[in-house]
Structure 1
């Protein structure tokens, strides 16, 4: 996530349409939408929906997820800049007794202690910098050290250990 995240419509125009000499009108006709939809997207007044992402993916022969990821990155960067969200959200109180991964969460029991001692721990400098920026935005929370953990099962998790 970047503090300077660009709207995906700007990226569409600057990095796809302009270099290829494609007009918004031509793109709209080629992907089967009204030209106003394309115009609103490239002006940053409208986000890229799943429908638009699929159409752009088919047109440029790229995964639709590219477009959705750009939109999500932009939306998240905008949300992270607002302190009202950070002030409004109270973190889960039992977070120190659970394992949270992208596939779900579960309570840790005494028999799960092996999960707390991973076989492999690695995090690159860019990930660490990103985590530090996120932590600075949420200053009211307890200080934690973030670590990427790969467990014996092959599962990967990003965990925070209180300092």
Structure 2
């Protein structure tokens, strides 16, 4: 039986650059050079994004949304999901103090 995790298991999201390449550039037969020109960025910048070496910034999300008829949120959410998963995978060598408090319903007494 699977353990019930309050936070829930996270899938393995791919870098948004991989999505851009596989779902947008390749089907449209766009080269990195042509796509970069259309986005108003350098070929190097787009190449680094596609290869997962750069993150999607808000500015880039706006450009991608306009160029491919999507939303900036789509690109930023993909990046955020990817970043969060990468952070969860890293070994954590730090100690965290828990600061949460019990809610009123948890501490209320029956009268």
Consecutive aligned runs of 4 or more in structure 1 exceeding 4 Å deviation: none
CA RMSD of aligned residues (A): 2.0
Deviations 1:81-126 (A, max 9, x none): 12416x43222241x22xxxxxxxxxx48xxx7xxxxxxxxxxxxx
Specify every segment of 5 or more residues in structure 1 that has no aligned partner in the other structure, as ranges: 98-107, 114-163
Q: Give 1:35's aligned residue.
A: 43
- TM-score scaled to structure 2, two decimals? 0.78
Say whether residues 1:91 and 2:98 are aligned partners: yes
User: d(CA) in 1 for partners of 2:47 and 2:17?
Assistant: 9
Higher RCO structure (Cα 8 Å, ≥6 apart): 2
- TM-score scaled to structure 1, two decimals? 0.55
Decide which structure has greater strand share. 1
Give 3-state SS (helix, strand or coil) of 1:20's partner. coil
Q: Determine which of 23, 35, 39 is the counterpart of 1:15.
A: 23
Specify every segment of 5 or more residues in structure 2 that has no aligned partner in the other structure, as ranges: 1-9
Q: Give 1:62's aligned residue.
A: 70
Task: Show the 5 A alignment for 1:117-156.
Answer: none
Equivalent pairs, count: 98
